[in-house]
Chains A and B, each alone.
Chain A
């Protein structure tokens, strides 16, 4: 990357780590619905989204490798929780279907907008991935929007469940936008316009969709921060232990 000075490289790495870790961990959580979905189509949907997100995380880890980090498998499978930069929203257990669905709705909308913003990034290799991923994530947001709207306008129980899962996930979703150490570096270099701008765009989108679904956004929520700096809930390390169990037996095995 010719245009990068050392500071730009550090800033780009920080951005890539949080994006890749979010994708890997939400992908793993989505895959936990395989075989358990409430209906066959939802089982397939969550499994497909898991596959997309794991694939996307791998390509983001490959960019980190280009910037001097270890290869994708090593980075994905050998770090401990305090080295992960994912937000708390993605690491929580799948809970009931309404929780997973609302998390998917709030997270994927943020992710779709993030990639949209990165399409014109000065970091061309990341811009290329953003252009590619955008077409895939479109199907994820389409899926989330359809179901949130349908269930929020279903019967009393489905409506109550969607509202209570929104209450639970909202502060966690605000934690997606916890600012990193390099916001101004990223912005000045034209790499990424920043978490603040992303949050504003996201808020506009989800407010309109939730209003159309008849759901109330909780007021005065405090963002659940810490994830971007390696502070996590008690749920992340067990997930990592399970995810890396086979890899740890023989890291050199050829698949």
Chain B
């Protein structure tokens, strides 16, 4: 690629490319809306450095997401080298999920996490609105679900089992 033909890439461009990278365990939500992209740097050579923060320390999708980020950005002819780093410098909490992300979760049938709960207590988790009918007349069945970030609930109004995204 001839350097002189490269178009200028901005941080915002990189963020818009990353919006196409989805969480492998919850495909309707992008990693940007999930809030795990904590920094993007574009240098004068158009090399891009992306910093991710893990949702859960034991999340098996983390390595895959690093690879997906690299793969997506390397498709862009105007981007030079791509490096991806995982850092705990910014602590991820569910408050970092964007409004768009919360809507995507709801559409997917996953109750979005309550916001600004700080360090949560059991009753916060119990008070989760059903993603299907919106009722708060629900029971917490277990704080552990099919992935580390989900909990199991039951709606006593529409009689459906559902999953929630755990607030952390």
Contact = CB atoms under 8 A, between A and B. Distances in A.
A136 B56 contact: yes
A48 B148 contact: yes
Interface stretch (B22-30, B42-50, B101-109, B138-146): B138-146
B91 A132 contact: yes
Contacts of A52: 56-58, 148
Contacts of A47: 144
Contacts of A136: 56-57, 148, 168
B58 A44 contact: no
Nearest to B93: A135
B144 A49 contact: yes
Given A132-B57, A132-B88, A132-B91, A48 B119 contact: no
B119 A41 contact: no
Given A41-B152, A128-B89, A138-B119, A133 B146 contact: no
A139 B144 contact: yes
A8 interface: no
B122 A48 contact: no
Given A44-B145, A139-B144, A146-B122, A55 B89 contact: no
Nearest to A52: B58
Given A132-B88, A135-B93, A135-B119, A44 B146 contact: yes
Contact of B168 (A44, A125, A135, A146): A135
Contact of B91 (A41, A53, A59, A128): A128
Nearest to A125: B88
B58 A143 contact: no
Contacts of B152: 41
Measured as residues with beta carbon below 8 angstroms from the partner, the interface class of chain B is: 20 to 34
Centre residue among A44, A48, A134 by max chain B CB count within 10 A: A48
A169 interface: no
Main secondary structure of the interface of B (DSSP, over half): loop
B133 interface: no
B120 A138 contact: yes
A135 B118 CA distance: 9
A237 interface: no
A128 B58 contact: no
A124 B121 CA distance: 27
B94 to A, nearest CB: 9
B122 A55 contact: no
B122 A133 contact: no
Interface residues of A, number: 28
Contact of A143 (B54, B57, B89, B143): B143
A58 B86 CA distance: 13
A172 interface: no
A153 B58 CA distance: 33
A59 B57 contact: yes
A47 B60 CA distance: 13
A133 B88 CA distance: 11
A163 interface: no
A45 interface: yes
A133 B57 contact: yes
Given A41-B144, A48-B144, A129 B119 contact: no
A54 interface: yes
Interface in B46-78: 54, 56-60
Contacts of B114: none
B88 A128 contact: yes
Interface of A: 41, 44-45, 47-49, 51-56, 58-59, 125, 128-129, 131-136, 138-139, 142-143, 146
20 contacts: A44-B142, A44-B145, A45-B142, A48-B148, A49-B144, A55-B57, A56-B58, A59-B57, A131-B88, A132-B54, A132-B57, A132-B91, A133-B57, A134-B119, A135-B168, A136-B57, A136-B168, A139-B144, A142-B122, A142-B143
Which 3 A-B pairs rank lowest in CB-CB distance, beginning with the nearest?
Answer: A55-B58, A135-B168, A55-B57
